[in-house]
Each structure stands twice: as C-alpha cells, then as structure tokens.
Homo-oligomer: A and B are copies of this chain.
Amino acid sequence: MIRAGIIGATGYTGVELVRLLSGHPEVSLSSLASHSYAGETFSGVYPAQTDLCDMELSVQDPEKVAEVSDVLFLALPHGHATEAARAGLARGIPVIDLGADFRFRDKKVYETWYKVAHPGEDLFPKARYCLPEINRQEIPGTAIVGNPGCYPTSVILGLAPLLRRGWLDPASVIVDAKSGVSGAGRSLALGSHFTEVNDSIRAYGITDHRHTPEIEEQLSRVGGTPVMINFTPHLVPMTRGILSTMYARLSEDLTDEVLREAYMEDYGNEYFVHLLPENIFPRTKWVYGSNHVHINLKADRRTGRVVVVSAIDNLVKGASGQAIQNMNILMGLPETTGLTAAPVFP
C-alpha cells in the first residue's frame, strides 16, 4: 500500500483527498495534518466521515508527515507549500501541491499576481505543471507536482485542441467561468455566507483573478504562441462545479464537424474527458463528485467565433481528483485507479 500523507487535511480539498483516497485500493492514509484542528479526530471535524475516517489529526509538521509517507499531498493556502515541499524532497518522496506555489515557471509572474514573496524559487527546476491529458509524458519522475488550478483545468482542456492546431486568434480569447462556492474554501467570509450567496449570482476578480496568468501560461505553451485572455469568474449558488464558457475568433472558417473531429482525436481515448453529442451542452451536475470533464462547442459562422463550454467538479478534476490522477502516474499505477466513480446525478 502507498502511504499518503496530507498536509492541510481539513480544508475542502483536504477532505476531498480523504474521501477519494479512502476508496483507492492501493493507498492508505498515513497522516492527516491540520493547522486548525490538530488533536481532534478527522470525523469530529467532518462528521460525514464518522466511523469511516476517525484518525486523529496531527500538527502540521511536514517532516513528521513525510517520515511516515510515500507521497505527500499539500492542500495549503498559497505561499505555504515551500517548507513542506522541502520536507518531501528531503525524504525523496514525491510532493503534490494542490496550491499555486509550483504552477509557474517565472517567480515574478507568481509574485505579481499573488502579491507575496516566493521563498522557494530554487525548487522550480524540480517542479512541473502536471495536467495529465495535456502533458502526461512529462509527469513520471516529477519531484514536485504543480497540480493545476480548478479554473485553469476547465479552460486548458476546453481550448487545447483548438490552440494546438493554430485555429484560434490568440488575442481573441475570452473566458467567462462560473464556480460553486466550495471553490472559495471553508474560511468564513461574508462572500460565502449562505444568506448573501443563495439565490444570487455575481462576478468577482474582474481583470485580476489569480488564475489568469496560469491559464495564459499554459495556453501559450499549448498554442506555441503568447495567448492573452480576459478571464471573469462568477460565484454560483451551488456547492460544486465549474462551468467555463469560452469565446475565441476562429482563424479559418471551420465547420462543427471538423471541430468535433479534432476533439475526438485528442480526447477520444481519454477516460475522463468527454465530448458531448452535438447540441448537448455541459451541466456541472453531470460531473458532480467525479473526475470527469464534459466539453462541447459550436462555431458561430455569423460572428466567426467558436464557443466552447466545459464542466468539471472543482474539487475533483479541479483539485483532489487530479492530484490523485497525478499520483497514480507518478506511482506507476493505472491512471484511473480509485477515480472511476460515476458522477452523482441527480
């Protein structure tokens, strides 16, 4: 059994790791570390896990967690991963960081958008952005996995087939994304207070959301040309799910048929990525609780643009599920191990 340690086990991506790993046939949980709840039991914090995971939460001592683990998951706020990553490296075990600290190649980009200093630039050469359906071959052997952000996952998978083929005007990309509230985490804030969120929708992070540079960097890599986007996230009164609606000008006049063929070519053999039938557009509930990605698209010949819509569960494919997918690759397991649960619909 692979012993998995989680640092930051009581945030929403932490508890989702616990949920998914508890059903993983090759993994046992070695240590759950929590800043706020050390000393309590996991099920005391998350009663949904009563009698399923009653482990005592440990203090967030990365070395101690690393000591008893074969893989280290970091589910921490950005800016806090470096120390824990060093502990994993020191033990020679792979580190999978669900936060933003190891997603960028350029420290300046990180510091500009995240507005904190990055204490771990020296680790960048050992870190890699790992989105299996995009760069699967590069993942084995990675010491520090920069696990993709939730919005970026939905956007990169949505646009890659078009960018890869040079079919989009790279200056024309607009991403309008909608997220469930779990994406805002468990920290108390008026913006996540039920009465302020329910029966309402709002935009936030207009022109300056931190996932913007992550999306741009990865789209640029895929497209082989600098891509600059407008990205606007929205908060939707639902628990889970991200729906990204993407607009871009087509560089040539392409039919839906041709477009769909490209997606089938790229994703036809992917277990988790699904091009929906024509005119059936994604709904977040259709991927709820699962690692699946639904995509559809349509060309608008009137305007010369294509509209792509993708849906993921932000806590699974957008975070903890993808982290486990990366772990499977790193550990030489079949990539889908522990991740084949069907979406919970309705």
Contacts and interface: CB of A to CB of B under 8 A. Distances in A.
Given A198-B237, A236-B236, A238-B201, A230 B345 contact: no
Contacts of A194: 181, 192-194, 197-198, 237, 239
A247 interface: yes
Most chain B C-beta atoms within 10 Å of own C-beta, residue among A228, A284, A342: A342
A280 B41 CA distance: 14
A234 interface: yes
Nearest to A44: B277
A23 B341 CA distance: 6
A138 to B, nearest CB: 26
A212 to B, nearest CB: 9
A203 B345 contact: no
Contact of A228 (B180, B239, B303): B303
A199 B285 contact: yes
13 contacts: A19-B343, A47-B286, A48-B343, A180-B195, A194-B239, A199-B240, A200-B285, A201-B283, A202-B243, A206-B309, A207-B298, A230-B305, A341-B341
A202 B294 contact: no
Interface string A78-96: 0000000000000000000
A207 B298 CA distance: 8
A232 interface: yes
A47 B196 contact: no
B230 A307 contact: yes
B204 A232 contact: no
How many residues of A sit at the interface, in one of the four size bands? 35 or more
A125 to B, nearest CB: 29
A167 interface: no
A274 B54 CA distance: 13
A302 B228 contact: yes
Interface in A277-294: 277, 280-289, 294
Contacts of A165: none
A298 B22 CA distance: 31
Nearest to A193: B192
A200 B289 contact: no
A190 interface: yes
A22 B276 contact: no
A346 B240 contact: yes
B283 A206 contact: no
Contact of A307 (B44, B206, B238, B340): B206
